Structure 1
Amino acid sequence: MKQLLISSCLSVAMALPAAAQEQEGPSLMERGAELFLEGLRQEMEPALEDLLGLADQFGPAMQSFLMEMGPALAELAAQIEDWSAYELPEMLPNGDIIIRKKPPQDEPDLPLPDPETGITDI
């Protein structure tokens, strides 16, 4: 984090005199940006290495899962045209998973007839 702060301050400090000077090659602003990006890369390198190690660790398991479940998931996706027409999956106490279809909302509510007269007000 210190390198990021130092790089940021350094790039700002080098950018101020760059406006007053003209020179050959990269400007102070460009050099400051390069230093900033280099510091950022150095800060992120350990996290990226950890991410690559995690991908190496879980890659074979994910590939096996997709090979086994891929055809079944593709068949399910072909059968269900509109996912928004279904409720969220629910797990029952016995372990079954159910996915209920949402009730249709485009049908208007019809008025009920008057119990005494049997006439419906429209």
Structure 2
Amino acid sequence: PLTLPNRAPAAHMRGMSTNATFRPGAGLIALALALPLSLAAVPLSAQDTAERPPNADIAEGAELLSEGFKKLFHGLMGELEPAGDAAEQGWNDLVDWLGDLSAYEAPERLPNGDILIRRKEPVAPGTDL
């Protein structure tokens, strides 16, 4: 996990904690986990009754469909994990490049839609960024 330094300007603007933890891809992974679990609960509720539906072919098809969805989302989880790792590395690189976020003013939006984040103290000319 990535912990933002204290005094992150964006965190103060939204009234969030300044020690927020960011996990890239966590939302996608949570979605990938939640969907198969919710689909897995459907057959359990169907098994509560002792009787099978009048058409056994439909019941068998529904079971196969449920199993297929489980396999599909299990595969998606495996594919999303490397993307989350890459996003985390990119975020870490950005935070390293920016340095201490308390050195920046709060973001401001220009009339044309651009967002500026100014440094509190200007960088000396000739400094390699």
TM-score higher than 0.5: no
Larger Rg: 1
Higher relative contact order (CA 8 A, sep 6+): 2
Q: TM-score, normalised by structure 1?
A: 0.32
